[in-house]
Structure 1
């Protein structure tokens, strides 16, 4: 939406500058106020559209684009009231060729149905205005003007509709890819735990049972035969002691993974990092994602729902930086540092961009208060912090501790 809005805004400005000589020439036979007012209504919204498309939300871009499209129809409506019939010495009124600009704005602002309605209304309006001011009225001239106007405007409508449809498909595929990444990470975590459990069963439980069965076979069922070798009490006691220690060690290991077996939809440290890194790189693959680990990091067990919340808050921090941290004349460096320790994770997003005064952020700035800090406050064991100063960049810290204490 931003790229389309900026392209259309700049295109409208260029068309306005190119059309200035024709506007001045055709204004000689009309009231003095008509040319500037009609030009302002036709082209005035496009520089605003280009400006808001740099950083504004899509809803704002659509609103400005819709006003721009409507203002062009207003320019058409006032023209017959200001200019006398057949007083323009030209092949066509300059407004006639501006319908594609209005069509672009309408296609960006509204759904296809309303854009088609705008196409029909706009084509009819420009054809009538052109016949009223320039051409001699006839059914053929009116039909020809309508077809020429609607044909080019239809082409622009088709292009914008295809572009918006492609963008929507990219958004849907990104969301699907994110859900698939989460499911894959969860499946990987489950497979890892199953393999770990199977190895424990084979290496510890079965070997303990095998050693115990061998010990039972070697132990005589009754008293030793007369004259035969006497059993060694020390050896038997030693074997029993080893079996007890091995059995106790096996039980301890089973106790450690019991929670993981009951709750398989969790990510281990590696899967969590892959999931969070993919969430960042889906937004901007150029952002550096660094990982640090502390002793005990393998103990991290993060539920998939928690990983999704962290990824959403981190993604909003990245998007806010891309929207607002740009500094003209130099690149802005952005880095995510993921630190994993025993049962907890800390994500630090940092940029060296424009920065802002945290205390001056209004409560209705949902990107920070709701999408970042609000998400982390609602997450058990989670916390979020935003630090920034004008000209000194921004740091967003997200913390989660599996024990409920961040």
Structure 2
């Protein structure tokens, strides 16, 4: 017990606390860095986890054959060869769960290169034609290593790796097995290359589709922001045109009719001059949305997904002073749209209609959006790390926005509430 009354933590407790902080920090950095590549990062995580577990399973399946063929190799070679061929896959599982695309690529690339090292070492540690089998065990691991190369490198480099790995595997079989014919050599190469090519095609198709989704999402966000800015400029032009028509021209017309002695004309002229001064002194930026424009923009983002969702607005005194950057409105709209889509996908309850509502509260310097449904709900603690719809597309996106924050509350059977807040540093 310390003098302040706090209990000294043990080394184990300090280690656990430090590990927990590290995991949270890695997750936070991942969400912050990969907002522009959300779909690609998600696919990489899932492929990395799948590949990692596949490597562990293949290792367990191949262990009897590895032990049998190990009798023909030096004692010091088999264990390091197994570690090089399979040791990166458990690491890949952990990295895929905790980190982003870059570490996944690095670990997968290490696994692919390590497999080539194992194949290259075979002529130096095994005697020729001593393995009584159809193939030496690293040959059967080649498609797994090629799939790791898919995660690590671009398609052209992966295809080159496929050809090198398949040829090396076939040659290792030629060198080690006791009975070999030209037909067997060709069959071994085609079998390794063909199966590996199938994995290359599937992997590149998945990652390519995810990258296209990210590109289209970025284009859609830019278009929405540009459209909102154009609408804001059009409204400013319309406001100025209305002022000219309703105030200036009517004042001039009244002056031409009544002369300069009319009290009504004098008051109208004074009011017109005040309005012109306000317009001249107004520092409105066409890339800033006022309260009405921001609400219309956010409402349209929801109704484009489901027009049946109720959108309510509450205002505080001074809300007309709100000026919201277009990019901030786009980020809020994207996070709100993701919350709505998640509810539509996962919040339905069989046998009854789920009520969904968005409430926007506007003040002079902030907007607070609360999306609620009375649907199925979920346990936040049970959401796996690779489910990034909430952690990245909502929470991470709002963390990246200056002055933005987000909160998600849900319980199984009690619906879900998503709160998005913008204001403070990002309000000007």
Both structures adopt the same fold (TM-score exceeding 0.5)? yes
1:204–1:98 CA distance, 2 compared to 1 (3 A): same
2:366 to 322, 341, 345: 345
1:132–1:279 CA distance, 2 compared to 1 (3 A): farther
TM-score by length of 2: 0.63
How far did 1:140 drift? Answer: 3.6
1:243 to 250, 265, 271: 265
Q: What SS does the aligned partner of 1:46 have?
A: helix
1:61–1:311 CA distance, 2 compared to 1 (3 A): farther
Match of 1:157 in 2: 200
Match of 1:123 in 2: 166
Q: For each residue in 1:144-175, what CA deviation from the matched residue of structure 2 results, as whole angstroms up to 9, or x when unmatched?
A: 32222111112211221222221221121121
CA contact (8 A) 2:332 2:398 kept: no
CA contact (8 A) 2:361 2:368 kept: yes
CA distance in 1 between partners of 2:147 and 2:274 (Å) = 69
For the pair 1:267 / 2:289, whether they are aligned, the reply is: yes
1:47 to 76, 82, 90: 90
TM-score by length of 1: 0.67
Unaligned 5+ segments in structure 2 are 1-43, 303-310, 339-357, 371-378, 382-396, 407-418
CA distance in 1 between partners of 2:227 and 2:139 (Å) = 56
* Residues 218-229 of structure 1 aligned to structure 2 (within 5 Å): none
1:6–1:262 CA distance, 2 compared to 1 (3 A): same
* Residues 117-266 of structure 1 aligned to structure 2 (within 5 Å): 117-134=160-177, 136-216=179-259, 240-258=262-280, 263-266=285-288
CA distance in 2 between partners of 1:193 and 1:167 (Å) = 39
Match of 1:298 in 2: 320
Unaligned 5+ segments in structure 1 are 217-235, 281-288, 319-335, 355-370, 377-382, 387-394
Q: What SS does the aligned partner of 2:236 have?
A: helix
How far did 1:69 drift? Answer: 0.8
1:74–1:259 CA distance, 2 compared to 1 (3 A): farther
CA distance in 1 between partners of 2:293 and 2:126 (Å) = 71
CA distance in 2 between partners of 1:136 and 1:7 (Å) = 36
How far did 1:265 drift? Answer: 3.0
Q: What SS does the aligned partner of 1:53 have?
A: helix
For the pair 1:88 / 2:131, whether they are aligned, the reply is: yes
CA contact (8 A) 1:182 1:275 kept: no
User: Which of the pair has more CA radius of gyration?
Assistant: 1
CA RMSD of aligned residues (A): 4.3
Structure with larger RCO (C-alpha < 8 A, sep 6+): 2
How far did 1:353 drift? Answer: 7.4
CA distance in 2 between partners of 1:77 and 1:129 (Å) = 8
Q: What SS does the aligned partner of 2:366 have?
A: strand
Q: For each residue in 1:8-41, what CA deviation from the matched residue of structure 2 results, as whole angstroms up to 9, or x when unmatched?
A: 1122222222223332333344444444332222
Match of 1:223 in 2: none
Q: What SS does the aligned partner of 2:127 have?
A: coil
